[in-house]
Amino acid sequence: MQWTHEQSPIIQSEAPKLLIQAGAGSGKTTTLVGYAQHHSRLRILYLCYNKSVEIAARGRFPRNVVNKTAHGLAYAVYGTQFSHKQTNNLRLTDIARALDTQDWELVRDVLTTLNNYMASADDLIERCHFPRFGDRPMLTSAQERYLNQALVAAMSIWKRMTDLQDTAVQITHDGYLKLYQLSKPDLSQRFDCVLLDEGQDVNPVIADIVRIQRIRKVAVGDRHQQIYRFRGAADALNASWMAGAEKHYLTQSFRFGPAVAHVANIILSYKGETRKLQGLGEKTLVKKALPVGLPHRTYIHRTVIGVIENALCLVTEKPKIYWVGGIDSYSVRDLEDLFYFSRQQRDLVQNKKLLRDYRDYGQYVEIAEVSQDSEMIRSIKIINMYPDLPQRILALRSCTVDQELDATITLTSAHKSKGLEWDFVGLFDDFTSDPLSPDIDPGRRDDELNLLYVAVTRAMKILAINSLVLSIMERYVDALAPGARQARG
């Protein structure tokens, strides 16, 4: 393997702490494989971002590397103990039943507090985990009482979740991961080095597991691809425990050519980034729309509802559709059940839990409005939009294929597209939040710019930009010096 001048010093590094900022498509995994091969004497844990990364890594890394997700590590210790009472997610109705309350605002706050706690590095449930006004310095007496009530309720749910005998309250995968982190695991008996993948987007609970290890640490990622901050993810690349690390940069992208790199650099310029991404891959065209007649094309969307809306439009073409993550990860089955529930066709509802949790559709709508649950509100919107929803979904399922190689169209959200790449990519026009708006919160501004950066850097041959990216590029040109605008003209 002929390593670049950026990769070679990383691969040969003997630093006890190594920090790698890797741009999109810059050969991050290839570089880590080179590092593992060069340090064949080390027992290395490659802490993968998700299960799909773990599976892909198995065939690439040498034998001195163990590929695991943090949940995989935790499952071996705690997950197996709780296998009889596991669930993917706690629902609002689960919390309400456990607390024996119909106060849906309280229920929502308790659930959010629990999720915040499980994603944190903290030992105890505290005020900082409360979602709405837990960080305010001054509260009214009524707010103080409500806050304490919510914290006590969250603690009681957590106690029941982690009680092996209490099967009435199930534990989530994040729950047994939290138990693993609280146990302060020592990995030094099994490993000499840990590679932390996607370090910019790990939950504090995972970062803390890495932080406490007394072995060599290698953190790799791209701060501009931090897109899960809304889930509590933090940038471990800038964490205090990585202070003093030997720093390296991978800026040469082999995925795409200069045109896509230019679009990406424009987006990143609004975050103050001055280190340019270099497009050294195949020449990539940037257009306003994908050409007709392509053998395959991929559409990237901002929202799940955007994916479904686009699919419902495309289904008339009778394409072969591949859904990244599977069609059911886009809440299609739940939508069908909710549709029948809204039409009082209870016998057609497959998930009977829906019938147990809600008296009728009116109560579902009421809870959605009070709790402002985004998933519930989105589902209601789709049902109102498509009165023939079951027929449309049936048509979508008949067009769906299991293997992407068999597809003519791939559909994905921007979040699910992370780490993937395609020849022909179009951005759907549901990126409605303008990150350059003067009224936008700085944190959300960076989140939206990061998501756009991830989306545009998935394309290898043709990128079709949407109206928002086009607008950002036009404003960038308008901000150039008059001489530069004249030269462009």
Q: Is 25 annotated as a binding residue?
A: yes
CB 149 within 8 A of CB 127: no
Whether 264 and 200 share a structural domain: no
Q: Do 459 and 472 meet the contact criterion of CB atoms below 8 Å apart?
A: no
Q: How many domains does the chain have?
A: 3
pLDDT confidence of residue 489:
47
The span from the CA of 220 to the CA of 199, in Å, is 6
60: which 2 tokens?
């690439």
DSSP structural state of residue 76: I
Q: Can you give the pLDDT at residue 51?
A: 83
Closest to 132 measured CA to CA, from 105, 166, 161: 105
With tokens 């310095």, the residue in question is: 137
Is 23 annotated for ligand binding? yes
The answer to whether the annotation marks 24 as part of a ligand binding site is yes
Residues 224 and 291 reside in one and the same domain: no
Q: Are residues 197 and 299 in the same domain?
A: no
Residue 150 is assigned to a ligand binding site = no
Q: According to the annotation, is 461 in a ligand binding site?
A: no
The predicted pLDDT at position 313 comes to 86
From first to last of its 489 residues, the chain has per-residue pLDDT tens of 789 999 999 999 999 999 999 999 999 999 999 999 999 999 999 999 888 788 888 889 999 999 999 999 999 999 999 999 999 889 899 999 999 999 988 999 999 999 999 999 999 999 999 988 756 677 888 889 999 999 999 999 999 999 999 999 999 999 999 999 999 999 999 999 999 999 999 999 999 999 999 999 999 999 999 998 877 788 899 999 999 999 999 999 999 999 999 999 999 999 999 999 999 999 999 999 999 999 999 999 998 888 988 998 898 889 999 999 899 888 788 889 999 999 999 999 988 878 888 999 999 999 989 887 767 887 898 899 889 999 999 999 999 999 999 999 999 999 999 989 999 999 999 898 899 999 999 999 999 999 999 999 999 999 999 999 999 999 999 888 665 555 544
Q: What pTM does this model have?
A: 0.84
DSSP 289: S
26 is an annotated ligand-binding site residue: yes
Residues 26, 421 contacting (CB under 8 angstroms): no
Is 459 inside a domain boundary?
Answer: yes
Write down the pLDDT at residue 486: 53
In angstroms, the CA 25 to CA 27 distance is 6
The domain in which residue 224 lies consists of 7-77+185-250
In this structure, the answer to whether residues 158 and 209 fall within a common structural domain is no
Give domain status of residue 159, yes or no: yes
3-class secondary structure, 70? helix
22 is in an annotated binding site: yes
DSSP-assigned beta bridge partners for residue 19: 219, 247
Distance CA(354)–CA(370), nearest Å, equals 18
Spatial CB neighbours of 387, under 8 Å, sequence gap ≥ 6: none
- Establish if 457 belongs to a structural domain: yes
Same structural domain for residues 58 and 95? no
Output the domain CATH number for residue 459. Answer: 3.40.50.300
> Does residue 28 sit in the same domain as residue 103?
no
